[in-house]
Structure 1
Amino acid sequence: IFRFLYSDEVQIGPETVMTTLYTAKKYAVPALEAHCVDFLTKHLRADNAFMLLTQARLFDEPQLASLCLDTIDKSTMDAISAEGFTDIDIDTLCAVLERDTLSIRESRLFGAVVRWAEAECQRQQLPVTFGNKQEVLGRA
């Protein structure tokens, strides 16, 4: 961040972009925030759309979140097959499930939601049972 403040140069990579975005927001450096969001937008793909959507929601970046949702809409099967899908939080899952623009059959989406519920049970250290899956899905 200091290099950017003094020289207006920035080196952002996949490993540093989220911490850089966090720091830029924390210290109110909008130009650096814009560089980070631009980097994320350029590197947005179906296989990382859910991870980036979670981060966009966390960092209050509605434009990036909208682009992520558009990517998920267009390539839903690829997006839900990605490793990051089962790591999303319940609010992000609900936001996606509320959409009527997903390009996937309901049966496949249901299977993905069950996978997410199983992962959530494990995160909460609950036995993976029907009842617990129902419980972690809650309002979804």
Structure 2
Amino acid sequence: MYSSPLAETSAKRTFRALKCVLISSSDVFYEIFCENKDTDTIDVPDIFPEAFENMLRYIYTDEIDVTVEDALATMKCAEQYDLPPLAGHCLDSILRDLHASDQNCLRHLEKALTLAFAGDSVLENCWHYVDVHCEKILKSEQFNELPLTTLRMILAG
């Protein structure tokens, strides 16, 4: 049994998975379960349940079905558990969506900053989009709704 308590807005969820499947899919799980062979449960407090569920679905089915809304959190999860194909698919999904509109760019920028995301390519692409479309973004409704810290970062440029 694998528990994933979530951030402030979500309740704790429990996922069931086979150790042997997890160990065979990721060196990170291998290390977790080999360090403590008696471990049957792990807590993953820094991962959103939806992202963990997406990762488990990928591990079990080798299929990637991630919504744009969950892509960044799933990418963070995939990177944390060393699943490059899943992380790559999430990045592709984010980048396609990012360039679709100013609103999408600001949404992904805010999520990346909120998650303290280490995915440089997501932040780089967001900042590049902001630079290229600066005037349009400054005039957008979404710009006025950004938190003060993000506004300061954008204006500091």
TM-score tier (shorter): 0.5 to 0.7
Q: Among residues 43, 63, 79, which one is paired with 2:137 in the alignment? A: 79
Matches within 5 A, 1:60-79: 60-79=118-137
Q: Which residue of 2 aligns with 1:14?
A: 68
For 1:89 and 1:33, how far apart are their aligned partners in 2?
A: 27
Q: Is the 1:50–1:68 Cα contact (8 Å) retained in structure 2?
A: yes
Aligned to 2:23: none
Q: How many residues align?
A: 99
How many percent of aligned residue pairs carry the same amino acid?
25
For residues 109-124 of structure 1, the aligned pairs below 5 Å read none
Alignment-derived partner of residue 104 in structure 2? 48
Amino acid across the alignment from 2:78: A
Distance verdict in 2 for CA 1:41–1:27, change over 3 Å: same
1:85: Cα distance to partner? Answer: 2.4
1:98 is matched with 156
SS at match of 1:9: coil
Distance 1:77 1:93, change over 3 A: same
For the 8 Å contact 2:71–2:90, the answer to whether it is kept is: yes
Farther off after superposition, 5-14 or 88-97? 88-97
The structure richer in helix per residue is: 1
- The one-letter code matched in structure 2 to 1:3 is R
Give the deviation of 1:33 after TM superposition. 2.0
TM-score (norm 1): 0.56
Partner of 2:29: none
> Which runs of 5 or more structure 2 residues have no equivalent in the other structure?
1-54
- Counterpart of 1:11 in 2: which secondary structure? coil
Shift of 1:35: 1.5
Contact preservation (8 Å) 1:21, 1:33: yes
Structure ranking higher in strand proportion: 2
The alpha-carbon deviation at position 25 of structure 1 amounts to: 4.4
* Runs (5+) with no aligned partner, structure 1: 100-140
Confirm or deny that 1:35 pairs with 2:93: no
